Chains A and B, each alone.
Chain A
Amino acid sequence: MSGSTSNMQLETQTQNDRAVLIVKEERLDAHNSSELKERILRTLEEGGRRLVVDLADVKFIDSSGLGALLSGYKNASQRSGTFVLSGLQPRVRSMFELTRLNRVFEIYPRLQEAISSQGVS
């Protein structure tokens, strides 16, 4: 990424052998989506094979935000890992439905459910 990094607010945790990325931004758009994509990729490269991305704080997502998550999903799959989402607000979820990406992603209502449900490896 160029020098115009957005310094995205992102909390990372490890819980129950899952790498958890909690997006602490209200918007995921072309300003910060490439940073999210890189942070997901870095987590995978550092050995996190079972990723949970929590979007509970995200009120707005655009096509580039969806693209960044899709990139994470594909990269995790290529590494035989898992990639699940949690906490989608209704309007954010409606964007997944409009683009049919709700059929691609495994989506849980709450973070704790995502962490405990991702048991199949």
Chain B
Amino acid sequence: MSKTSMSVDIVVPNQTRYLRVIGNIAEQIAKELETDAVDQDMLAYHLNLVLTEAVANAMEYADERRADHTVKICLSIEENDLRIRVYDHGQGFDISAVPMPDIDELQERGRGIFLIRNLMDSVTYQKSESGNVLEMHKSLK
């Protein structure tokens, strides 16, 4: 059972070179968790992946006219609940309309949300005060 409780807020410039930094932070946090309920190495990879996907999405959808070209990430762990929020300043999109990738179509894009949905327990995307927020949740029990 996890006994860890923590909250981390990160703001990075809207540049893809920072994806590596975000991914590394996610991996380190996963390895800090005191949990024997999940494979920590695999959890570390999965957190790296979902954050990389979510932040890359936020960077892609960012509104270039805004001066604050940054992406904000809030990551919190309370009891056994992991919650990640990624904020963007773009036009947003309808997450319910994102289709499942079709293996026969061989589309080069469109697997990011699919991967996040697969690796997390729930995913929502909605308007927030300053743009949009993608919120991901996973139980570590």
Q: Do A and B bind each other?
A: yes
Closest A residue by C-beta to B57: A30
**Chain B interface helix/strand/loop/mixed:** helix
Q: A62-B56, A98-B115, A103-B103 are in contact. Are A31 and B45 (CB under 8 A)?
A: no
Listed stretches B11-19, B73-81, B88-96; interface member: B11-19
List which B55-113 residues lie within 8 A (CB) of chain A. Answer: 56, 59-60, 101, 103, 106-112
Please list 30 pairs of residues, one from A and one from B, whose beta carbons are closer than 8 Å in the complex, sorted by A's number: A4-B16, A6-B17, A27-B19, A29-B23, A30-B16, A30-B19, A30-B56, A30-B60, A31-B17, A31-B20, A60-B23, A60-B45, A62-B49, A62-B53, A62-B115, A63-B109, A63-B110, A63-B114, A64-B109, A66-B111, A67-B111, A68-B108, A70-B107, A71-B108, A91-B42, A91-B45, A95-B49, A95-B115, A99-B101, A104-B103
Q: Which residues of A contact B (CB under 8 A)?
A: 4, 6, 27, 29-31, 60, 62-64, 66-68, 70-71, 73-74, 91, 95, 98-101, 103-104
